[in-house]
Amino acid sequence: MNRVDDKKALILIADDQEFMRSIIRNALNTDEYDVIEAENGEEAVKLFAEYKPDIVLMDAIMPLMDGFEAVKRIRESEVSETTPILMITALGDAHSINEGFKAGVNDFIQKPLNVDILNRRISVLVKELNNKEKLRQSEERFRLLAENARDCILILQFKPFYKYIYISPVIKSIIGYDAKDFYENPFLFKKIVLDADRHLFAARNLETASFEMAVEVRCLHKNGTVVFLEIQYVPLFGKDHQMTGLQIISRDITQRKKDEVRKRIELTQKVLYETVTALSATIETRDPYTFGHQERVARLAVAIAQQLGLAIDQIEGIKAAALLHDIGKIHVPAEFLSKPGKLSEPEFAFIKTHAKIGYEILKSIRFPWPVAQIVCQHHERMDGSGYPYGLSGDQIPIETRIISVADVVEAMASHRPYRVALGIEQALEEILHNAGRFYDPQVVYTCIDLFTKKDFKLYT
């Protein structure tokens, strides 16, 4: 009979009489078992420590060290705790049997030896060893799988009392608490789950169901951050078909949740920019001479903002505001916008209202940036000579100062109904000449560097 690991069971025979060892050896059939022999108790202890046999057959009365003392010494070894030890003896009195059990003997076989009984006993013991080995290997496979899995496995026992009987080590990397924290406080999981109602609903429903349930919950990490978990509850049942515990499989889905949020934000921004672009195009259809103006202003403003090292969020706001900075012109009569000659003072005064009208159109839209304010202020100047409020210096946000410069450069470089295009060089001369007066000097120099050193193209 072979062990489950394909090795024969190793049996230690300890008896001071050679003929008795020979009888046992022949009875066991060494084709099925491996055998080692000891002539006394002292030798038996040494052989056990060296070879760690699966079964021990121990004579009671031997020289140097008797079987009772040898069994005691063997039982002192950690590896001997589950090793079956049978004492083969002619002693049949209650005292000897009691002493044997106290020493650590599992059972007795009486002399004179009955070979059939010995074989049956050894066969039963080897089957038990096989079953224990299978269980050990199964538990080892489970442990290796559980401890190397990304998911955390917890086994919770309800009876005889509420406690965790297994927690995979990966739990610490997920929520910061280690297995010891849960063993010491079985109710810790309930304490750190933020979506307690959802968690308890699933757990309570399992009491009357025989199927798995899964929920997503938010859990408080030991460092105070929030972790998203997908928790699968698997009920465990006893022989009476009553639920005795739970297997809880927890998966960290925090990154997945972050990705979902990021995708939603990206989709929202995409829809937002498509809407902004559509609004921008609607304005420009009323004035074919300025078609593409807002898009070009936006590209130049974004490039200036990037060179200045502004935050990504600020740059996104600048882009949106630049694309809409002339939206108020939707209120201006088309003949004013496309008039080839010089505008009268009343006509120009009316056009100047487009900044405030743009603000009124946009103020109720919940942009993540102050778009309406930037649109309202894009004609303000550093010296306070602009409109509509005559703001000056630091009263004008950096986003507005950037769009103001980009707006002037694009307008001067492009064709208008009342004049031909003046070109980039003249536009740059204008902002340089008025740097510090009308325009923010840092923004002006950055803009000029884009065209002269970075090869920025206004028209693509």
pLDDT at 147: 60
Contact 189, 182 (CB under 8 A): yes
Give phi and psi for 40, each to the nearest 5.
Answer: -155, 170
CATH at 32: 3.40.50.2300
Nearest to 410 by CA among 422, 396, 418, 398: 422
| 118 & 170 share domain | no
| 281 & 425 share domain | yes
Q: Which DSSP state fits 2?
A: B
Report the percentage of the chain scoring pLDDT > 70: 86
Domain that holds residue 221: 149-252
Cis amide prior to 388 (ω within 30 degrees): yes
Domain boundary among 231, 252, 273: 252
Per the domain annotation, does 458 fall within a domain? no
pLDDT at 97: 84
| 329 & 283 share domain | yes
Per the domain annotation, does 1 fall within a domain? no
Tokens 């990705």 appear where?
Answer: 259
Query: Could you tell me how far CA 53 lies from the centroid of its own chain?
Result: 47
The CA-based diameter of the chain, rounded to the nearest angstrom, is 133
Cis amide prior to 112 (ω within 30 degrees): yes
| 34 & 81 share domain | yes
pLDDT at 209: 47
| 243 & 329 share domain | no
In the chain, what are the helix, strand and coil shares in percent, each to the nearest 5?
Answer: 50, 15, 30
Domain count, the chain: 3
Per the domain annotation, does 370 fall within a domain? yes
CATH at 156: 3.30.450.20
Give phi and psi for 419, each to the nearest 5.
Answer: -165, 165
Give per-residue pLDDT as tens, 391-425: 999 999 999 999 999 999 999 998 776 677 789 99
Per the domain annotation, does 45 fall within a domain? yes
Contact 352, 379 (CB under 8 A): yes
pLDDT at 453: 93
pLDDT at 375: 95
| 124 & 205 share domain | no
Per the domain annotation, does 363 fall within a domain? yes
| 222 & 239 share domain | yes
| 203 & 113 share domain | no
Per the domain annotation, does 460 fall within a domain? no
Domain boundary among 115, 146, 177: 146
| 164 & 221 share domain | yes
pLDDT at 392: 95
pLDDT at 193: 82
Per the domain annotation, does 457 fall within a domain? no
Cα distances (Å, whole numbers) of residue 443 to 165, 258, 404, 406, 424:
66, 36, 10, 9, 16
Query: Could you tell me how far CA 412 lies from the centroid of its own chain?
Result: 53
| 245 & 312 share domain | no
pLDDT at 159: 75
Measured CA angle at 428 (ends 348, 425), to 5 deg: 105
Give per-residue pLDDT as tens, 203-222: 555 554 445 567 788 888 99
Per the domain annotation, does 3 fall within a domain? no
Mean pLDDT of each 10-residue bin along the chain, 460 residues long = 57 91 81 88 93 90 91 84 85 81 87 81 80 63 60 80 81 87 82 69 52 76 90 79 80 87 78 73 65 89 96 92 89 72 81 91 87 95 95 95 96 79 92 96 96 90
| 162 & 111 share domain | no
pLDDT at 14: 93
Domain boundary among 146, 165, 196: 146
CATH at 298: 1.10.3210.10
As a whole number of angstroms, the distance between CA 35 and CA 157 comes to: 43
| 287 & 219 share domain | no
pLDDT at 206: 55
